[in-house]
């Protein structure tokens, strides 16, 4: 993988803010997400396109690579949805 493209004029002149998740904020964001999910404030179901048993992980990767999936949930106990 090469270096990601960065539109420096957009960052400088348009006020774009870039956030990463490495370092000290990583755990803070995990706790924030946990609170959002537990409180019901954030519904992630619209982003999930497939629920598949863990055994179908290769099929799931193929779906992602082909662009025919959004987010895939792999269920270790074999449930499909």
For position 81, what pLDDT does the model report?
Answer: 60
Query: Taking residues 43-51, what's their average pLDDT?
Result: 93
Task: Clarify whether residues 36 and 57 are in a common domain.
Answer: no
Domain that holds residue 22: 7-42
Task: Clarify whether residues 29 and 49 are in a common domain.
Answer: no
For position 40, what pLDDT does the model report?
Answer: 93
Q: Model-level pTM?
A: 0.55
Task: Clarify whether residues 35 and 48 are in a common domain.
Answer: no
Residue appearing with tokens 């193929």 = 62
Task: Clarify whether residues 69 and 51 are in a common domain.
Answer: yes
The 3-state DSSP class for residue 31 equals helix
Helix (H) or strand (E) holding 48: strand 48-53
Q: How confident is the model at residue 17 (pLDDT cuts 50, 70, 90)?
A: confident
Q: What is the mean pLDDT of the chain?
A: 83
Task: Clarify whether residues 37 and 49 are in a common domain.
Answer: no
For position 30, what pLDDT does the model report?
Answer: 85
Instruction: Give the total number of structural domains in the chain.
Output: 2
């Amino acid at each position: 993988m090469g270096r990601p493209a960065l539109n420096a004029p957009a960052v400088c002149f348009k006020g774009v803010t870039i956030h990463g998740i490495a370092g000290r904020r990583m755990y803070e964001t995990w706790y924030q997400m946990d609170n959002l999910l537990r409180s019901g404030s954030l519904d992630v179901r619209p982003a999930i396109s497939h629920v598949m048993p863990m055994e179908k992980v290769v099929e799931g990767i193929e779906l992602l690579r082909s662009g025919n999936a959004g987010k895939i949930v792999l269920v270790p106990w074999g449930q499909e949805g």
